[in-house]
Chain A
């Protein structure tokens, strides 16, 4: 494999991995903060236990997001030095601001939250978990401003003398509409992710009729939040579709495999055969739906891939401007399909909780598995879609991926780091899954007290100590 492909593979893997953990951090922070606040207000011991139990799961997950986040910040310079040179004047700013505004906040107050109980006044301890939640979500805001700029560059000019893109309007950068739709979609997604993890673990215990009060309360809270959050995710996604219509029509056409321009455009639920546009064996299509998706009415024209390819060739010169269709088409379906299931499921859960003994119903047995799997798959698919749908560009219309890579890296360098990250991240995931499972199965009682001095001696050879 050539260095560019290896760098892309590495960036893709490390980013998807990082983003498996971060959304849960984003959402779970709010949950834990809310639970602790409820305890502060009501002095109801169950809320205290809830903040401890879900807080412990929050922490186990948080740690991986933090350590893999450092890799993210370094990778731009390490693997994409030409990108960093060309757009660093613009892109570096939100990254630096993220560190200054968000990372300090979340890391400092996380320390206060973990170690400060009993050492700082209760109000300050409570405020720290809120600040952790604010800090982590704020960091998502800044990184999405950076990513939004890659999708829809604004507020810059090309400086002929320095041969690079330079910022000329900071407010355009931070008010980039694309970024804010992303932020809306993503922060809501974090909340939905946390809600579904809570649903999954709660259902597991409810089916076993354990800690009923504790997990019923968690389940009901998560069902409500899950419904609101997944509806917000959907609305954000829908808005994004219309935005894409103007700013990235190629991505829009590719996620739907629209080869020829259509007006009004139908939406393919499923297409069997090949997506090359040459032959379609069988498909189920909803008339007008694609037009609705793209511009909120049933009439508009959706440009096809072929027309856009011709347009881009005349605009940017010869080349292949079509993303890998099989990926964009299917990731879109996974993301949207699972998103809909999540929305429907949480509505159903919320409805079902009106029955007193809902934990005995048969469908509850499916929840732990389904509620765990769907959000992760939907979330990863969404990112694969948004990043691979932008190909061949790294910054849309401005810089191609092949021109962004570090020219000095050899295949050997990249293989070492790729294999290294894979092994390291694999081990992290194993440790994390083990601990989350142990904590989740252990239930609220075990999370209240850590095993203090359970292993008095760590050095067997010196047992005299």
Chain B
């Protein structure tokens, strides 16, 4: 195995981690944002939370692993991106803290105000995290000011440009739809009837934003800077999303969920293929781009990490998959059977 092969392998592995993260945490961000609007009674809110209760924390670990893998395999990428996006990441962390703590604390006190406050914190935290991640990825695609020392020279407002904001809004809309589809799979009775029309409306919003975002990306020429052609992946994002609309109308939530999930996967595939072999694009000068070659760890570290990943990733996937399978049933809004 050559050095270059391992650098490429780790680029692909990190892409896979982000795909896993957005697919999984995407729906629990969506469920979080929908929570206070969908559930009016305490039992309903608890039912909605329990659809993701056992898995959200494990989903979030995909983000931590993506962060850790970036640190280990591409220290310069980790250093430039994390220090450059400083305040955006601080807000992202604040959002993740708010929602994380609220899942665990909201039911530990019966006071309606207590519970309502934490429920709103779940929604706000999920929104902040989804929006900022979308903004961050859009900026990575667009390029950010990086100087010859791999140092980010902008600030928070550099990231809040029209394309970045559109990226954030698109992420929010897709995750809302993904969450609604997930809820349609996991709920039953009155709550299921309530979520179906919401999913239809969210689909309209997500489609408009996604198509605008894709169009912007295409006309801005962001696709032609990397070494490989994303091929049909960008078109597949639109096709899967439109097909999801068809199944939402037909109340086939399984297919709708899978198709929006595919949309998320194809979006990430498009993103990473148009970046390759760059990991961060400099808007100041393409010569300052961070690539898998100049940002990576040593050959030895990549070899060690590859062995670790090869041995342990299948084990992790097996038990996490099993944990989803255990809780595959729909959740009834019945106070007696709900776990608080």
Contacts and interface: CB of A to CB of B under 8 A. Distances in A.
A398 interface: no
A458 interface: yes
Contacts of A416: 87, 90
Contacts of B84: 408
Interface in A156-193: 159, 162, 164, 166-168, 170
Interface in A105-119: 105, 107-112, 114-117, 119
A458 B108 contact: no
Contact of A100 (B39, B94, B313): B313
A127 to B, nearest CB: 11
Given A63-B100, A417-B90, A458 B42 contact: yes
B298 A159 contact: yes
Contacts of A117: 339
A79 B326 CA distance: 40
Given A77-B83, A110-B57, A408-B83, A99 B64 contact: yes
A457 B104 CA distance: 20
Interface string A78-95: 110110110011111101
Contact of B67 (A63, A73, A120, A460): A73
Interface in B166-188: none
Contacts of B45: 458
Contacts of B43: 453, 456
A81 B79 contact: yes
Interface stretch (B70-78, B210-218, B240-248): B70-78
B152 interface: yes
B97 A409 contact: no
A162 B298 CA distance: 9
A327 interface: no
Interface in B250-285: none
Given A88-B297, A406-B86, A100 B323 contact: no
Nearest to B323: A108
Nearest to B299: A166
Interface residues of A, number: 84
Interface stretch (A64-72, A229-237, A257-265, A281-289): A64-72
Given A111-B55, A409-B83, A452-B336, A71 B93 contact: yes
Contacts of A98: 68
A237 B92 CA distance: 38
A95 B326 contact: no
Contacts of B67: 73-74, 77, 99
Nearest to A85: B79
Contacts of A162: 298
A114 B327 CA distance: 12
A44 interface: no
Interface centre among A77, A168, A424, A456, by most chain B C-beta atoms within 10 angstroms, is A77
A455 B57 contact: no
Interface string A442-464: 00000000111111111110100
A375 B336 CA distance: 40
Given A82-B79, A96-B71, A98-B68, A166 B300 contact: yes
B305 interface: yes
Which of A73, A100, A452, A465 has the most C-beta atoms of chain B within 10 angstroms of its own C-beta?
A: A100
Interface in B38-88: 39-43, 45, 50, 53-55, 57-58, 60-61, 63-65, 67-69, 71-73, 75-76, 78-84, 86-87
Q: Which of A92, A420, A462 has the most CB of B within 10 A?
A: A92
Contacts of A63: 100-101, 103-105
A311 interface: no
Contacts of A103: 61, 64-65
A66 B103 CA distance: 12
B340 A455 contact: no
A9 interface: no
B79 A77 contact: yes
Contact of B312 (A95, A100, A434, A454): A100
Contacts, number: 261
A445 to B, nearest CB: 15
A413 interface: yes
Interface residues of B, number: 81
B326 A93 contact: no
A74 B82 contact: yes
B75 A78 contact: no
A413 B87 contact: yes
Interface stretch (B112-120, B196-204, B219-227, B229-237): B112-120
B76 A85 contact: yes
B78 A119 contact: no
Nearest to A97: B308
A119 B60 CA distance: 23
A70 B109 contact: no
A77 B65 contact: no
B316 interface: yes
A431 interface: yes
A408 B82 contact: no
B110 A111 contact: no
A322 interface: no
Contacts of B208: none
A381 B57 CA distance: 31
A101 interface: yes
A104 interface: yes
B41 A457 contact: yes
B338 interface: yes
A455 B339 contact: no
A380 interface: no
B58 A104 contact: yes
A450 B313 contact: no
A84 B297 CA distance: 11
Given A96-B72, A453-B335, 20 more contacts: A60-B105, A63-B105, A77-B67, A92-B301, A100-B312, A103-B64, A108-B323, A120-B326, A164-B75, A167-B301, A408-B84, A408-B86, A408-B152, A417-B87, A428-B101, A453-B43, A457-B42, A458-B119, A460-B112, A462-B40
8 contacts: A77-B67, A77-B81, A84-B71, A84-B75, A99-B61, A100-B316, A407-B151, A457-B41
